[in-house]
A and B are shown apart, each in its own frame.
Chain A
Amino acid sequence: MAKAAEAARQTKKEKEPALKGTLASVFLLGFFIIFSWVSVYFLFLHRL
């Protein structure tokens, strides 16, 4: 029983696509958001 489940997990793992590019893309997206936000935040502080 446990073995079967383990085997199923194994095959599922194999089918899982490698999404390295997706990971890199979402990180780039995140950095862009943070960079833009911080830029306007500094503009705000500068004008206080």
Chain B
Amino acid sequence: MAQPLEKVDRRDAKLALAHLFVAFTALALGGFAGLLQTLVRSGKFELPAGISYYTILTTHGVLLGLVLTTFFIIGFQFAAVSRTTGALSDGSRRTGWVGFWLMTIGTAMSAFFILTGKASVLYTFYAPLQAHAGFYIGLALVVVGSWVSGFAMFAHYARWRKTHRGQVSPLLAFMSVTNMVLWLVCTLGVAATVVFQLIPWSLGLTDRVNVLLSRTLFWYFGHPLVYFWLLPAYMVWYAVIPKVIGGKMFSDSLARLAFILFLLFSIPVGFHHQLLEPGISPFWKYVQVVLTFMVIIPSLMTAFAMFATFESYGRSQGATGLFGWLRKLPWSDARFFAPFVGMLFFIPAGTGGIINASHQLNQVVHNTIWVTGHFHLTVATTVVLTFFGASYWLIPHLTGRVMTKAMNRLAIIQTIVWAVGMTFMSGSMHFAGLLGAPRRSAFSTYGNSPQALEWIPYQIAQAVGGTILFIGIILILVIVINLAFFAPKGETEFPVAEAAAPYERAALALENWKLWIGLVVALILIAYTVPIIDIIQNAPPGSKGYKLW
């Protein structure tokens, strides 16, 4: 207890905080857009001043799906790397700031074109919908900025390895690097379509675009994107939560192996988003669906490791019976409770994912609001609640403050509000989706067709859930602003768990980056080379751009 707390260097803390600040600003604006969407879709409310539903929906998807997540993750990872492998060098930190400003300028630029109605193309920006070139250029800046920050992390990690030869790197640093490798490899696809196809086409330099190629490159990025969101949540689960509850990590090597498996199997699988796309041969869809199902292995490893961590701890505290250990967990600690509720929601979320990726079942749910319900469980509950839970120690750690009891209680309430709101909203999205209700559509009764009328009660339930969720957004903003500016000064721990077994040789073998990156490239080449050649060679004439809003 007398030992001083290990802290993130103050200058690195500033860099991390800058990222968190943009992330929570995006949450505030994007959350408001989400509320408006549910109200419009209930049929009881219309947007004022001729604002288009699709402008709001693009704002929501881009701000929450792309901006909130990327900024939070990079900020969190800078803090995690600095905490576990020491202060960044001046060069790495400066590089991190360059990355931050590139991403921020890019975000501002894209946001400008979205909000002025020149880019209502949704966050997937599928061609042939065509936005103003400034929207794509802004997105490209965000991606380039994230690369710059990724390189700052790689350089820092390489320097640590050089000065600690033969040692296993700290788990959080290893995981951050894995996630940035994943990000770097997958963003190459989206950068390719944006730079070589969409920007020249939106500038009028080219007239037509290969739609299937651009969508394929997007989903080459789009699926790993969801793992880029998820892995930082897993970092918190594996490496932080055991310490928060007062226990130990079940296995350090298992955690590393799971991350490597995610790296390998989350990229060559984008076709599971394109199962109903004509123009891709069923064989290659099948190959990628098989690879998709491989991701279930590290996912179930993670579920097992979490249960085992909790049970080991509970039993060490004298718990008996089959589930007695559950009672020993620190339910009144928001740092544990919020991520734990996130984990619970991942059970239906992951199950929904397996359903989506199964070719036949995909035909039941494809492009229905079921899919929206699905990712509001994965990213908007599991990931986001874990990020909130991490903020409860990360922000006060970085600002030199402490979370008060009252704020902790508010954070518990916030978690419950979010869980209730999301159960309503996502639950009714799932059921309406099974009845065929489309996603990405403003309110319509489709000429009073009986099928569309069936959806309306669910749409009203979505608005109820959305309203509760918006209260949740207000609560988290109150907590975050308190932690950043008003909480009492003091020292807060950045919890990092120890492994139950002190040293595992396997961990060292897992640091073989040449091998992993080689395998990643090999799997991508196997899954994508032939179909992409086919998509280019047998392409129909490209499409002109459409601005349908």
Stretch at the interface among B122-130, B306-314, B524-532: B306-314
Question: Residue of A at shortest CB range from B355?
Answer: A40
Partner of B358, one of A20, A22, A25, A37: A37
How far is B347's CA from A32's CA once the two chains are assembled, in angstroms?
A: 8
Judged by a CB distance under 8 angstroms, whether B446 is at the interface is no
Instruction: Name, among A20, A22, A24, A47, the residue most crowded by chain B CB atoms within 10 Å (CB to CB).
Output: A22
The SS class assigned to the B binding surface is: helix
Judged by a CB distance under 8 angstroms, whether B283 is at the interface is no
Which of the four size classes fits the interface of chain B? 20 to 34
How far is B364's CA from A41's CA once the two chains are assembled, in angstroms?
A: 9
Q: Is the CB of A26 within 8 A of B322?
A: no
Judged by a CB distance under 8 angstroms, whether B471 is at the interface is no
Q: Which of A1-48 contact B (CB under 8 A)?
A: 17-22, 24-26, 29, 32-33, 36-37, 40-41, 43-44, 47
Known contacts A21-B325, A26-B300, A44-B360; A37/B315 CB under 8 A = no
Q: Is the CB of B364 within 8 A of A22?
A: no
Apart from the given pairs A25-B307, A29-B347, A36-B352, 16 other A-B contacts in the complex at a CB distance below 8 Å: A17-B315, A20-B322, A21-B307, A21-B311, A21-B314, A21-B324, A21-B325, A21-B326, A24-B322, A33-B354, A36-B351, A41-B360, A41-B361, A43-B434, A44-B361, A47-B364
Question: Residue of A at shortest CB range from B316?
Answer: A17
Q: Is the CB of A21 within 8 A of B358?
A: no
How far is B323's CA from A41's CA once the two chains are assembled, in angstroms?
A: 32
Q: Is the CB of B364 within 8 A of A40?
A: yes
Residues of A within 8 A of B347 (CB): 29, 32
Across the A-B interface, the 9 shortest Cβ-Cβ residue pairs: A22-B307, A25-B307, A21-B311, A36-B351, A17-B312, A22-B308, A33-B351, A40-B361, A22-B311
How far is B355's CA from A17's CA once the two chains are assembled, in angstroms?
A: 34
Q: Which chain A residues have a beta carbon within 8 Å of chain B's beta carbons?
A: 17-22, 24-26, 29, 32-33, 36-37, 40-41, 43-44, 47
Known contacts A17-B315, A22-B307, A41-B360; A36/B355 CB under 8 A = yes
From residue B326, how far is it (CB to closest CB) to chain A in Å?
8
How far is B323's CA from A47's CA once the two chains are assembled, in angstroms?
A: 41
Judged by a CB distance under 8 angstroms, whether B167 is at the interface is no
How far is B312's CA from A32's CA once the two chains are assembled, in angstroms?
A: 24
Provide 7 A-B residue pairs closer than 8 Å at the C-beta atoms, listed in order of the A residue.
A17-B311, A21-B307, A21-B323, A26-B307, A32-B351, A40-B434, A41-B361
Instruction: Name, among B307, B324, B350, the residue most crowded by chain A CB atoms within 10 Å (CB to CB).
Output: B307
From residue B374, how far is it (CB to closest CB) to chain A in Å?
12
Q: Is the CB of A37 within 8 A of B322?
A: no
Q: Is the CB of B303 within 8 A of A29?
A: yes
How far is B360's CA from A36's CA once the two chains are assembled, in angstroms?
A: 14
How far is B350's CA from A29's CA once the two chains are assembled, in angstroms?
A: 10
- B289-314 vs A, Cβ < 8 Å mask (1 yes, 0 no): 00000000000100110011001101
